[in-house]
Structure 1
């Protein structure tokens, strides 16, 4: 990624909620069809991060961290503009988030991915140790998908 062309930010005020909702609900297998109200509620309850084009400030990537800010976090809704995938924007986003996590000093941060294990491994994520100890409670629809 050309660092002169893009910048990472943890400033929640910069989040383009319309872009985030549109991109997730149209391009993210886990969020297809998610309502704008539900996405806005998720943003409001999370620490949010973005990557922006320096030239015009347009958002091109997003991630959110659900956390208590002290001991635990869950990284979710990581997405890059489909037209920019493969150009290092996702790497910059995840590296920026990892630096923010390090500053918080969380004991553990989880995430779930079906296809980006290598990207996250570059920033310290790995398989859950003792997966037999982890449980999930499905929602009212009976599904436990993220």
Structure 2
């Protein structure tokens, strides 16, 4: 396997590939392709790529100021256990357009250990939150 490239360039996102994975996930059964495409349009996406093809995806829904919600995180089964999800999360956490966001949230039934490594804390069995105290040190949006 080649090197993994992480990118927030939305033009690189393979929407068909991502939809096929997300549509079969436990968290979004019933979501249509049109709904998925719109959700990506209304978010900041990140993709993971290897040898010219997409192997991972995640997105953040945000108001760019107060809150960010991490959604639809996945890595192709053949590429798991290589730190790809962690790298995608880091790319989203450091994205310049959302540097002032302090409160990050997500819901997961099975990946709590990964998110805990990135500063998320359990609010209940499913919801997790990360407070980014450094966000207030960033220049305010004008």
TM-score by length of 2: 0.78
Paired position in structure 2 for 1:114: 109
Report if the CA contact (8 A) 1:98-1:123 is conserved.
Answer: no
SS of corresponding position for 1:32? coil
| CA distance in 2 between partners of 1:126 and 1:105 (Å) | 20
Measured on the aligned residues, the alpha-carbon RMSD in Å equals: 2.1
Deviations 1:85-140 (A, max 9, x none): 223222222222222279622020100111111101111111239xxxxxxxxxxx
Change (3 A) 1:101 1:124: farther
- Counterpart CA distance in 2 for 1:46 and 1:102 is 11
Q: Distance in 2 between matches of 1:23 and 1:75?
A: 17
Unaligned runs of 5+ residues in structure 2 are 125-142
Q: TM-score, normalised by structure 1?
A: 0.76
1:79 is the counterpart of 2:74: yes
Task: Provide closer, same or farther for how the CA distance between residues 36 and 103 of structure 1 changes in structure 2, counting only shifts above 3 A.
Answer: closer
Q: 1:66 is matched with which residue?
A: 61
CA shift at 1:14, angstroms?
1.0
Structure 2 Cα separation of the partners of residues 71 and 103 of structure 1: 9
The structure in which a higher percent of residues are strand is 2
Match of 1:15 in 2: 13
Moved segments of 4+, more than 3 Å: none
Contact 1:21–1:36 (CA<8 Å) still a contact in 2?
A: yes
3-state secondary structure, aligned to 1:13: helix
Q: How many residues align?
A: 124
